[in-house]
């Protein structure tokens, strides 16, 4: 990891921290929750060694990126985050008209909207875990999720500012990160108030082979400083994002795309998702979708759990373009 270079770039009133390595066509990696640039550590090293410039920012509200108003969730819609990334690309790669984009979890959501709003900036997309979600003009997302999973569904629990932060403070930053990163139960994630989440909320976590204590220590060192509110704001802004994206109702993603999801990923078990992915809906909304890969026995944090496979999927796909 010592080879990876770090710097901050001032755009949109933020100081965006990026990790980068390599020379060649730019590959932009977009992380999710509760993650950082660090979740792409394996991909950065691999792509840099294979002729690409790998760049992974800490998104607004995360890590060493500063300047975001974390007490105002209205500043965390995908419009804001896409704006950050477009400005970042103009600053660090002014001569590259288009770049490759790789997203995971919330980073996948941001990547879908980057491709929707600015397809002129993207050569090809590899997205993981979260399939494209077409806008439903009849219902706000949080209300739909509450109807699906009830008040204890984790995204619903994340809505009240300060509520889940208080529980995380009691749980402890490092313990939460261990439980979340090691989570691999397919199906909805429930977080009953005061009871934590997972199969044994109070039990010790045995780290999987792909996640070391040093990895967790790095994440914890950053979230101990920033807290989790910045990342939680993405969930708290989904209804506002829904309102602001009304002009794009029915819009399609017109960028060459590959989608990868773990067989045990909780997102793969949301109501209707598997039918949407495999029975034509996904291809209708993403007409340049070229491949869907379901990785056997892999869970949500697939780019860290199966780095060699994911590296190959990314490399093989972007090489075509």
Q: Which are the catalytic amino acids?
A: 105, 235, 300
C-beta of residue 122 within 8 angstroms of C-beta of residue 115: yes
User: CB-side exposure of 253: number of CA atoms within 13 Å?
Assistant: 33
Compute the Cα dihedral for 160, 162, 163, 167 and give only its sign. positive
| CB neighbour list of residue 30: distance below 8 Å, 6 or more residues apart | 56, 57, 59, 85, 101, 102, 103, 104, 107, 108, 110, 111, 114
Compute the Cα dihedral for 158, 160, 161, 162 and give only its sign. negative
Sheet harboring 122-128: ordered strands across?
5-11, 14-21, 53-57, 26-30, 99-104, 122-128, 257-262, 289-295
Question: Using CA atoms, how far apart are residues 151 and 146, in angstroms rounded to an integer?
Answer: 6
Encoded tokens for 181: 């990163």
User: CB-side exposure of 124: number of CA atoms within 13 Å?
Assistant: 19
């Amino acid at each position: 990891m010592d080879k990876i270079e770090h710097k901050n770039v001032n755009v949109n009133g933020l100081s965006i921290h990026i990790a980068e390595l390599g020379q060649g066509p730019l590959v932009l990696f977009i992380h999710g929750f509760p993650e950082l640039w660090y979740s792409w550590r394996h991909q950065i090293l691999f792509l840099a060694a294979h002729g690409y410039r790998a760049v992974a920012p800490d998104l607004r509200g995360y890590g060493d990126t500063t300047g975001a108003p974390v007490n105002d969730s209205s500043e965390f819609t995908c419009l804001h985050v896409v704006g950050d990334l477009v400005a970042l690309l103009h600053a660090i790669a002014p001569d590259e008209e288009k770049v490759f984009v790789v997203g995971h979890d919330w980073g996948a959501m941001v990547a879908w909207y980057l491709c929707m709003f600015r397809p002129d900036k993207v050569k090809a997309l590899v997205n993981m875990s979260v399939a494209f979600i077409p806008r439903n003009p009849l219902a706000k997302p949080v209300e739909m999720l509450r109807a699906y999973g009830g008040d204890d569904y984790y995204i619903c629990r994340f809505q009240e500012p300060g509520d889940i932060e208080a529980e995380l403070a009691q749980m402890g930053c490092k313990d939460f990160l261990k439980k979340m990163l090691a989570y691999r139960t397919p199906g909805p994630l429930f977080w009953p108030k005061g009871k934590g989440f997972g199969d044994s909320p109070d039990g010790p976590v045995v780290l999987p082979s792909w996640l070391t204590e040093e990895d967790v220590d790095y994440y914890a060192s950053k979230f101990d400083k920033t807290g989790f509110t910045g990342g939680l704001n993405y969930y708290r802004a989904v209804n506002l994002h829904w309102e602001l994206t009304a002009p794009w109702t029915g819009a399609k993603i017109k960028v060459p795309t590959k989608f990868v999801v773990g067989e045990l990923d909780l997102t793969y078990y949301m109501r209707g998702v598997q039918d949407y992915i495999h029975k034509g809906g996904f291809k209708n909304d993403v007409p340049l979708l070229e491949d869907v890969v379901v990785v056997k026995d892999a869970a949500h944090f697939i780019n860290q759990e199966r780095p060699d496979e994911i590296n190959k999927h990314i490399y093989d796909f972007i090489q075509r373009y």
